[in-house]
Amino acid sequence: MGLTVTEKILSTHIGEGKLEKGSVIGLKIDQCLTQDSTGTMAWLQFESLGLPKVKCEVAVSYVDHTSLSFKGESSDDHLFLRTVAQKFGAFYSKAGNGVCHQVHYERFAAPGKTLLGSDSHTPTSSALGMIAIGAGGADVAVSMGGGYFYTRVPKVMKVNLLGKLQHGVAAKDVVLEVLRQLTVKGGVGYIIEYTGPGVDTLSIPERATITNMGAETGATTSVFPSDHVTLEFLRQQSRERDWISLEADADAVYDKEITVDMDNLEPLVAMPGSPDNIKPISEVEGTPIHQVYLGSCTNGSYRDMAIAGLMLEGRRVNKEIEVACSPGSRQVEQQLLEDGTFETMVRSGVRMLEPGCHACIGMGFVPGYQHYSVRTVNRNWLGRGGSKDGKLILASVEVAVASAIAGKLADPRKLEYPEFQDVFEEGFDIDDSMILPPVAEADASKVEVKRAPNIKAIRPQTPPPASFEAEVLLKVGDGISTDDILPAGSLTQHLRSNLPEIAKYTYYYIDREFAKRAEAASSGFIIGGDNYGQGSSREHAALAPWQLNIKAVFAKSYARIHKANLINAGIFPFETDTDAIDMGDKIHIDLAGLPTGKLVGKNLTKGTDIPVTIELGQRDLDILMCGGILAYTRAKAS
């Protein structure tokens, strides 16, 4: 039987367990990445392992989420991240060098390798035929230290790509179509693998848009083969030595298959509220808008920006709206300067920002009350843009620019503009001067890790009692995202290394009293619905409730990364039908049945039983019984 690309890479990286669907394996990790908003926690946890240096082949500490340092605490975080990288043998990508995923696939991603990153869009690098997975900072810390990444062997879903993208239709529309078919839950438990004749027609930046936003389906990652297109891209980056050919065998077997026919695809948008709230442009054309934002790790490539330039040549953005753009990386920015696109953009009225995450995470360019903002980013939940009042529409660069010109949602197929030609096809003058290489081992020991007072150590994790009895302190519905649990943006971004402070913003937009209520109680529970904790890898969304004494979450189902983060934080992720449980109910649950995965809680307020399940591997169970991954790692070491 033939193998998929996924199986080929996983089979060469199994460190523990067997490659059988659903069973837990320990995966060897070749490369690791961290960024500034999850990185301080990841590196603090790495330090607590007591190792002299990172053990994976490549580790990179990026600064992109807080690159403009709206608060001094962020500059303190950057200094910590630089010195800790230098001490322990990692690369450091400075503020202004770009979004981690864009820089990583340009400068480090390599076919056949594995990458673990403390950011949910780490799968972007899988565009080059690698298995790149997002995880919580604790898991990344362990893999930086040479430890395996434990995960269940996912099923493999084939996306059969047919045809070729037509004028005005983009790779973003391919992934929006995948989201339309799968929804934000349809990828859970899968690695999505792209095959079929259409693959050949897509460049690496287009593939990266697709693998990036595949994260929104809940999939572990999305992977493309490594072919002649991959080789060409690596040649442009002067990295052809990293290339290997990697394709699925003709008789490879998949667990599920869907088809996207690019010949007949129309531009799509995700309307406010959720990345799977998909509408064809023809249905929503004419919707008035206030803002357009171009950039992010989804659409920040040279190709994306150059297309924006081609569409804007000889045109101006509509006078009534604001348009801003941040290139994905400094390499992209330099290319835009060299080919003249930067000037075209500025002349047309686009406000050019430095490379980084910026508006995508609500760090600037926050939409006003009930304002529609068209963005080329990947997420549009309530509060995502930095205020709960803005309405975010996700779109391709083509739709965003056509809308910027029209001042309302517009169909790019109706606009004439030249086809994209890559003027850097032969290669580009590579400048890595904003990536500091690892410090030589002899000098590394002399580096002092700089820690400002805002960088607070995590309080000790303690083993759970034999049973819990506590009140439901919050009940929420289906699809709660990590942005709901712990909002991003300028409100909290500078507090990422200060758990006691950032915890005060837990569920800030949903229930402003929650944090105070939880802090006052010595223990408590949260009740959730389906796909609880979807979205980012933000382990603060688990650590902040832990800081507030939350002992367990009862939900109908969980998103993969958040469930792992809850376990790492020592919070029990129980699964149950939560409809009959209400806020204020008192629940008793005995943990004796834990190893069987089946327990019965008691709703003391209602006098009813609550049958719960909890799916745990042996390692998960051990982590929970130690009180969290830090306590577990320490116990193992001693």
Contact residues: ligand MIC, CB under 6 A: 37-38, 65, 119-121, 134, 361, 488, 535-538
One of 9, 60, 128, 360 touching ligand SF4 (CB under 6 A):
360
**Which does residue 145 touch among ligand MIC, ligand SF4, none (CB within 5 to 8 A, set by kind)?**
none
Radius of gyration of the chain (CA): 23
The footprint of ligand SF4 on residues 235-264 (CB under 6 A) is none
Least distance (Å) from ligand MIC to the CB of residue 324?
A: 18
**Which does residue 538 touch among ligand SF4, ligand MIC, none (CB within 5 to 8 A, set by kind)?**
ligand MIC
Residue with Cβ nearer ligand MIC (120 or 461): 120
Least distance (Å) from ligand SF4 to the CB of residue 114?
A: 19
Least distance (Å) from ligand SF4 to the CB of residue 148?
A: 25
Distance of CA 100 to the CA centre of its chain: 11
**Cβ partners under 8 Å of residue 365, min gap 6:** 291, 293, 322, 324, 353, 358, 359
**How many other C-beta atoms lie within 10 A of the C-beta of residue 314?**
9
Least distance (Å) from ligand MIC to the CB of residue 365?
A: 15
Residue 281 near ligand SF4 by CB under 6 A: no
Residues 219 and 224: their CA atoms lie apart, in Å, by 14
Residue 375 near ligand SF4 by CB under 6 A: no
Least distance (Å) from ligand SF4 to the CB of residue 377?
A: 6
Dihedral over Cα of 131, 132, 135, 139: its sign? positive
Residue with Cβ nearer ligand MIC (183 or 212): 212
Size of the site for ligand SF4 (CB under 6 A): 12
**Which does residue 99 touch among ligand MIC, ligand SF4, none (CB within 5 to 8 A, set by kind)?**
ligand SF4
Kindly state the tokens that stand for 195. 């095959």
Residue with Cβ nearer ligand MIC (345 or 542): 542
Residues 586 and 278: their CA atoms lie apart, in Å, by 40
Kindly state the tokens that stand for 207. 């593939």
**Cβ partners under 8 Å of residue 188, min gap 6:** 217, 218, 219, 531, 557, 559, 560
One of 86, 217, 287, 296 touching ligand SF4 (CB under 6 A):
296
Kindly state the tokens that stand for 277. 């709230």
Least distance (Å) from ligand SF4 to the CB of residue 559?
A: 15
Residue with Cβ nearer ligand MIC (180 or 540): 540
**How many other C-beta atoms lie within 10 A of the C-beta of residue 452?**
13
**How many other C-beta atoms lie within 10 A of the C-beta of residue 227?**
16
Least distance (Å) from ligand MIC to the CB of residue 78?
A: 14
The footprint of ligand SF4 on residues 99-138 (CB under 6 A) is 99, 119, 121
Residue 172 near ligand SF4 by CB under 6 A: no
Half-sphere exposure of 413 (CA within 13 A, CB side): 15
Residue with Cβ nearer ligand SF4 (297 or 311): 297
Least distance (Å) from ligand MIC to the CB of residue 275?
A: 11
**Which does residue 40 touch among ligand MIC, ligand SF4, none (CB within 5 to 8 A, set by kind)?**
none
One of 361, 395, 542, 552 touching ligand SF4 (CB under 6 A):
361
**Among the residue ranges 38-46, 107-115, 135-143, 354-362, the one whose residues contact ligand SF4 (CB under 6 A):** 354-362
Nearest alpha-carbon partner for 160 in 266, 252, 278, 226 = 252
Residue 572's φ and ψ, nearest 5 degrees, are -80, 120
Residues 328 and 190: their CA atoms lie apart, in Å, by 28
Q: Is 148 within 8 Å of 29 (Cβ atoms)?
A: yes
Q: Which residues pair with 157 in a beta bridge?
A: 192, 256
Rounded to the nearest 10 degrees, what angle do helices 36-48 and 540-547 cross at?
A: 70
Q: Give the amino acid at 189.
A: G
One of 85, 161, 377, 626 touching ligand SF4 (CB under 6 A):
377
Rounded to the nearest 10 degrees, what angle do helices 330-339 and 100-107 cross at?
A: 80
**Which does residue 38 touch among ligand SF4, ligand MIC, none (CB within 5 to 8 A, set by kind)?**
ligand MIC
- What's the CA dihedral at 389, 394, 399, 401 to 10 degrees? 60
* Residue 433: its H or E element: none
**Among the residue ranges 157-165, 353-361, 491-499, 625-633, the one whose residues contact ligand SF4 (CB under 6 A):** 353-361
Distance of CA 387 to the CA centre of its chain: 20
Residue with Cβ nearer ligand MIC (33 or 59): 33
Summarize as ranges the residues that interact with ligand SF4 (CB under 6 A): 64-65, 99, 119, 121, 296-297, 357, 360-361, 377-378
